[in-house]
């Protein structure tokens, strides 16, 4: 399959207050966000022409920027409106949305408090790649070679671009060995998350998920916890040791891109996606398209 480069596509991108031709949405090579990681972003999904949990995503984008020490020059309501304008311009029913905010090129150095803050919002086609039935085969994960840092070592509550460097390294390592993704431990050696999705274990009828104290408490994560509660399934948030995977009957991941994705393998552990995974895959699909 031929991949279309993301800098050479038709359409438009919302960029600093206006829709501009896709190919004209450019930044300078000496942009601070590129060199020093002063950049935050969101990953959102469009279902039936509507962004799921849009305001929650816009709110988190603003908060992520604040944690990196800069303010986005648009309110949450204005970001919502800009996102809806970008989605409408794309004319897509099922799509992915990438809002991104960053420090510009006015100052080049570690300290760049006088830099202009930019905001762009891009939308592109993102169909549902798997039916609920096909998802139930589960994906294979290896152990990640990198760990999630302590909150004293990085702004772990921010969806900051720089925090994904070790995710890229871990996912590349997994793909090189024939896996789809990697499962990351945290700085304490406890279960954390996959490279871009939160983790859940089904143990004896209850759902267990790591406490998000050094990684993002995902919007999809919270949605799935609510869906489980509606089914009367108890969800336990706690610190989980890696060896506890041996006690799990089912394992799954959640995220805006991943949605609800069952797991069949983590390193030496094997799982059979079953009743709980199937129910939540279907419940989540009904929720986002309802």
Report, as residue numbers or ranges, the catalytic residues. Answer: 159
d(CA 104, CA 35): 10
d(CA 214, CA 154): 9
DSSP state, residue 2: P
d(CA 179, CA 172): 9
Q: Which residues contact 32 (CB under 8 A, 6 or more apart)?
A: 38, 102, 103, 104, 105, 107, 108, 112, 115
Q: Taking a C-beta distance cutoff of 8 angstroms, is the pair 254, 212 a contact? A: no
- Partnered with residue 191 across adjacent β-strands are 185
The Cα-based distances of 171 to 20, 182, 234 in angstroms read 33, 6, 31
Name the phi and psi angles at 18, rounded to 5.
Answer: -150, 155
211 exposed, middle or buried (CB, 10 Å; 0-12, 13-18, 19+)?
middle
The Cα-based distances of 67 to 72, 154, 177, 183, 268 in angstroms read 11, 10, 36, 26, 37
Count each helix (H run) and each strand (E run) in the chain, helices first.
Answer: 7, 16
């Amino acid at each position: 399959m031929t991949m279309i480069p993301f800098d050479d596509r038709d359409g438009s991108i919302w960029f600093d207050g206006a829709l501009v031709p896709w190919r004209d949405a450019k930044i300078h090579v000496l942009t601070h966000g590129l060199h020093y990681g002063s950049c935050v972003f969101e990953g959102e999904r469009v279902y039936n022409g509507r962004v799921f949990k849009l305001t929650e995503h816009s709110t988190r984008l603003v908060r992520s920027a604040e944690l990196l020490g800069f303010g986005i020059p648009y309110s949450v309501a204005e970001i919502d409106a800009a996102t809806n304008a970008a989605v409408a311009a794309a004319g897509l029913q099922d799509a992915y949305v990438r809002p991104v905010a960053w420090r510009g090129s006015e100052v080049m150095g570690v300290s760049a408090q006088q830099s202009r803050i930019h905001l762009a919002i891009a939308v592109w086609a993102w169909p549902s790649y798997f039916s609920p039935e096909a998802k139930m085969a589960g994906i294979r994960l290896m152990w990640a070679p990198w760990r999630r840092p302590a909150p004293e070592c990085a702004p772990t509550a921010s969806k900051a671009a720089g925090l994904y460097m070790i995710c890229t390294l871990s996912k590349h390592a997994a793909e090189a060995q024939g896996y789809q993704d990697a499962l990351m431990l945290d700085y304490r050696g406890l279960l954390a998350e996959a490279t871009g999705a939160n983790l859940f274990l089904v143990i004896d009828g209850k759902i267990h998920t790591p406490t998000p104290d050094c990684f993002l408490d995902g919007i999809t994560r919270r949605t799935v916890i609510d869906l489980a509660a509606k089914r009367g399934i108890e969800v336990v948030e706690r610190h989980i040791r890696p060896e506890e995977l041996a006690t799990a009957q089912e394992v799954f991941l959640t995220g805006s891109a991943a949605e609800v994705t069952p797991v069949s393998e983590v390193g030496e552990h094997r799982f059979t996606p079953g009743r709980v995974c199937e129910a939540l895959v279907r419940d989540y699909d009904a929720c986002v398209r309802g």
